[in-house]
Structures are given as structure tokens and as C-alpha cells.
Amino acid sequence: MNDTPLANCERDFLLKAIEEKKRLDGRQPYDYRRMKITFGSDYGCCFVDLGKTKVVAQVSCELVAPKESRPNEGIMFFNIELSPMASPAFERGRQSELSVTLNRQLERCLRNSKCIDTESLCVVSGEKVWQIRVDVHLLNHDGDLMGAASVAAITALCHFRRPDVSIQGDEVTVYGPEERDPIPLSIYHMPISVSFSFFQQGTYLLVDPCEREEQLMDGLLMIAMNKHREICSIQSSGGILLLKEQVIRCSKIASVKVSEITELISKALENDKKARKAGSRCGFAESMPQERITALKKDETSVEVSDVMDRANDIIQKSEVPPRAVSSVVVPVPGVGQVGQGLQNSWGLEEEDDDDDDDENGGGELEEKVMKMEEESRGGDVVEISDSEEEEVVVLHSETAK
């Protein structure tokens, strides 16, 4: 069942606790783990939590041709999917021996026990019947897979509603849930599987074993029974020989457990029906807690706006008159142009450096350029100024050209 085997010290500890009629989770030998049943938003979707074992069952239907041997009966199909998400021991896309055993046991429990009226699934004899498919997916594995799967499957079947149909001649019309209310399945009884594990050749007995207990057990007995104490199926595995008294004792224990689980299923279905009728939160949305965002909450304080103008006038009168701005002549830096009366411009002036040699050289070059510009302006219409330090060429048009 698990890729990681138990250590010898852990094995000895568990066996010693079983001899003293103690279990790791604090249960008694004949106690079940806490079971929780919830439903999805759609009909036929059921979630079952048996301790840490989590299973989801989904029921679907479609119109197909019936079997030749039974033309007046519908078809029931069951499938159990063991994914690696539930346990590392399971492989994806490969049907293991455990999955085959669980599929057969589920078919014996639900289909062979005739808990569902298959004749009511017939639409047209020999032509059209309903095929009911039950897919069971294991979400987390912690022991007693058959017990959780059987509860999820029968609860999903009780919760499922198939579409209504009408027949006019050879034409079959399927109505959606908006046109006509869907019809529930006809279920006679609810068989539920109860698992019993035996230790030390049947000396000790535990009900609803967890995964660690299943690794230590010598044999497993699964009894499917309804609340009327009718045994639907029974299967033993592990190669252990059981006495008649042991089987009878297990059947008596199973009758009590099945009655309790059946009452729990009926209560869950009734609560879901009331919630859907009232239009309140139901199914998976009911288990989600309501969370409110408090980070954006603002403290609302009352603000009086009646005397705002009076207060504003008082503040203006009490305030000091700002000093008048005094215009001052600012000496412009080289390369700055200013607009206004009494302001100086520095266009065409080079930046002065601290070095005297640079000042002398820069001044001489400037005078030569100015003289050259005057000579060229007299002789031609267009003046071109080129500077070795500047990459751009500026073209100036003189007024005499006009």
C-alpha cells in the first residue's frame, strides 16, 4: 500500500498498542473515524472525508443502446481512479491490483445488490436507455478506501438528478433543467461497506483501519450491508482463515455502523435539499469561510461645512502681507539670454576658464571670427559659421539679401 515500509520499532509499538486495545488516534477498536459529507454545486457530486482519507464521487448519464440480453434495463458503470496525488504508491495511467479489487467490490456492493431500479432507466425498449456512470477519485489515502468510496458513490447516486425526456413517435426529446425539473433515481436501499482488519491470525480486530494499521494487518474483511441488516456482499483478503463466530461478530458490528452512516447520509441530503430550496449557500460554497477585506476600511468622521467661509476670511485677515518682490540685476553667465528692460545678454560669449592661457587664446579666436564674419557679410548674401569645437553648422541669412 505504501512505498515507505514501517520501521521495526514502529511496527512493534503499533502491535503492542493493539494488544492493549489502544490506537494511535485515540479510538477504541470498534470506533469509526470522523466522517464528513459535502456536496458540489451540481447534482451528483459528493465529497466524503473519512479521517484523512478524502474521496470525491461524480455521477453522469447519457443515452445509449441497451444490452441485447437486457433490452429493458439501463446500464450502471463504476470506475475508481487512484491517482499519485493521493499516495506515491499509485501510478498514473496504470490499473493496479488494488484498483481492480476496489472496482469489483464496488460493483458487487451497488450494482449486483440491485439497489437501483435499472428498469426505470429505460426510455425506448431495445433502443434507448440511460447509462449511469459513477467516477470515484481518491484525493488522499489514509486507509479504508472501500468504506469511503462506497459512501461517496451511494450518496452521489441519491443526490443525482437525470434530465427529463419525452417520446413522440420515434423522436426522443431531452429537456434541460431550465425547461423541466430533473428526475431523481429510483433507489431501493443504500448498501455501505464496512472494513475489518485482523491482527495476529485473527486474535485482535479493528474497525475502519488507517494506512499504518493496514500495513500491519494479517487479513481484511469487507462487508457491504444496508440498514435492514441485509448483507449485499462480503469479501475477504489476506489469506487468513476466519471462524464462523468471527464473521457473525463482524456482521453485528457492521449493522450498527451502517445504521449510523445511513442516518448521516439522509441528514446530509435533507440539509442540502433545504439549502437549495431556500436559495442559500449550499454544496462546496458552504464550507468556504466568509473573509472580509479590512485593509481598505476608512474611519468616517463628520465634517461641518456651515462656517467654512467665515473661518477662511478670518485666516486671510490675520495672515501677514507678503513682502514685495525686489527686482535685482543678475549678471548673466556666458551663453544666457534674458528678455526685459535693463537686462544683459551674453549671446556669443565663450565660457571663461580660470587659466589665463585659455582666456588669451579664447579671446583671440573670438576676435578673428568676428572680423571674418564682418568681411564675409559685406561681400556675400549668405554667411556660414563653422567651429572646430561644434559639430553643428549654423546658416545665417542677412537682411541685405532681401
**What are the angstrom distances between the C-alpha of 104 and each of 6, 279, 348?**
29, 39, 102
Phi, psi dihedrals of residue 59, rounded to the nearest 5° = -105, 135
Cα 201 to chain centroid distance, Å, stands at: 45
- Mean predicted confidence (pLDDT) in 280-293: 55
Band (383; pLDDT cuts 50, 70, 90): very low
Mind listing the domains of the chain with CATH numbers?
8-287 (3.30.230.70), 370-402 (no CATH)
> Helix-strand-coil percent breakdown of the chain, rounded to 5?
30, 25, 45
pLDDT of 389 above 50: no
Residue 18: all three cell numbers together: 493493539
Least confident segment among 93-102, 147-156, 214-223: 93-102
pLDDT given at position 207: 94
pLDDT given at position 222: 93
pLDDT given at position 375: 61
- The whole-model pTM stands at 0.69
Query: 111 exposed, middle or buried (CB, 10 Å; 0-12, 13-18, 19+)?
Result: middle
Q: For 164-201, how does the pLDDT look when each residue is reduced to its tens digit (9 = 90+)?
A: 999 888 888 889 888 899 999 999 999 999 999 999 88
Contacts of 363 (CB under 8 A, 6+ apart): none
Band (138; pLDDT cuts 50, 70, 90): very high
pLDDT of 348 above 70: no
Phi, psi dihedrals of residue 124, rounded to the nearest 5° = -130, 120
Question: Distance between terminal CA atoms of the chain?
Answer: 104
Q: For 361-376, how does the pLDDT look when each residue is reduced to its tens digit (9 = 90+)?
A: 555 665 666 566 666 5
pLDDT given at position 302: 53
Residues 295 and 48: their CA atoms lie apart, in Å, by 36
pLDDT of 293 above 50: no
Percent of the chain with pLDDT over 70: 71
H or E element, residue 207: strand 204-207
Residues 56 and 39: their CA atoms lie apart, in Å, by 9
pLDDT given at position 73: 92
Residue 282: all three cell numbers together: 449550499
pLDDT given at position 240: 81
pLDDT of 391 above 60: no
- Mean predicted confidence (pLDDT) in 265-290: 76
CB atoms within 10 A of CB 115: 21
- Mean predicted confidence (pLDDT) in 71-87: 89
Q: Which residue has the higher pLDDT, 303 or 250?
A: 250
